[in-house]
Amino acid sequence: MKQLLSRFLDYVTIDTQSDPYSKTTPSTEKQWDLAKKLVMELHQIGLQEVSIDENAYIMATLPSNTDKKVPTIGFISHIDTSPDFSGRNVRPQLVENYDGKDIVLNKSKNIVLSPDYFEDLLLYKGQTLITTDGNTLLGADDKAGVAEIVTAMEYLVQHPEIKHGKIRIAFTPDEEIGRGAHKFDIKKFGADWAYTMDGSQVGELEYENFNAAKAKITVTGKSVHPGYAKNKMVNAIGIANEFLSLMPPREVPEHTSGMEGFFHVHKIKGEIEKAEIELIIRDHDAVHFKARKEMLEDITEKLIKKYGDHVVLEMEDQYRNMREKVEPVFHIVEIAEEAMKQLKIEPIIKPIRGGTDGSQLSFMGLPCPNIFAGGHNFHGKYEYVPLESMEKAVKVIVKICELTDSQIK
């Protein structure tokens, strides 16, 4: 626990925020700071074939210690943090023996982490919580996963009596901006399957995620003196507002859950001459996903007929639902499920309302379900992770390695 905690606290204080507007890989130079540190650490704990490429993708090997012919499995996490909230000068706080009451994150700003709003807190009474100081995100997404993988590998190195096949690990940049798997070398990694350690609550085991796309609507206008604008002015702001009014108002993140998809407008700016809307489209069902994209196309065509060629829609698919790639090799989910059960952790198998590197990796030929890393309230100042949840994740990794060996005769 002490080693895991020390490792995690060290990682989160390194700013690795990614940048969706950058064209480089990694998208920010500061991601190299943690990447280089990890390479040194992997050598120090005794892993082999430690490598880092020109894009900051890190890979390493824990060699097999069994005479059996065991599949090569992998564990993957990402080193970047979300661009949605500051990751600079992270100052984690420890709340030991949590009493189930409000946690004051920042007294001067009156920022409080309360179980009245975040009910999951009550699951962790008596445990050690790691929180933010109210000024930044924490970075448990996904530095908790990184710390868990490194700690699990160190444990296996130190306990050779636990038999396992060849284990590959990898850490990727830029997952938070949808590019974590873009330059991942599947052939070099060489695993039969892998698990991303990038989930939330203890017990989460996910092999289904959103189909995802992003869209940008650009509206051009014509500025004319408002006193003489009749039949002359084209107000880009007004047309952009009309576009939004034609979208279903309840199909947004704040009104959906479970298997319900949504549109999420995350940026809008405008003047009379030009307005821009940026949004994402999400749905687990491929047919509904296609219909959502077609809806945006239909709205665009309607406004073009009304106002002329002042509206341009750009759409780009981001990732797909990994279920179709994981179901044919469902034993890889069953191994993880059995590992949790043997550790007396109740598996929570549910669709991800998001995506992970694993969704792209699965379609690249590396089936890759997602396992809990323990954190909650990602991408903001209320993010926290129980230390005990991270310890359980370490144990799940070790048990999966053990079970993969024991199931081979």
Catalytic residues: 80, 175
Interatomic CA distance for residues 321 and 370, integer angstroms: 12
Q: 233-238, long-range: CB within 8 Å, 24+ apart, which pairs?
A: 233/272, 234/307, 234/310, 235/272, 236/270, 236/271, 236/272, 236/273, 236/274, 236/275, 236/310, 237/270, 237/271, 237/272, 237/275
Question: Which residues neighbour 225 within 8 Å (Cβ) at sequence distance 6 or greater?
Answer: none
- The upper half-sphere exposure of residue 390, i.e. CA atoms within 13 Å in the direction of its Cβ, equals 31
Amino acid, single-letter form, for residue 221: G
206 three-state secondary structure: strand
Interatomic CA distance for residues 296 and 275, integer angstroms: 16
**Cα separation of the two ends of the chain:** 34
Amino acid, single-letter form, for residue 239: I
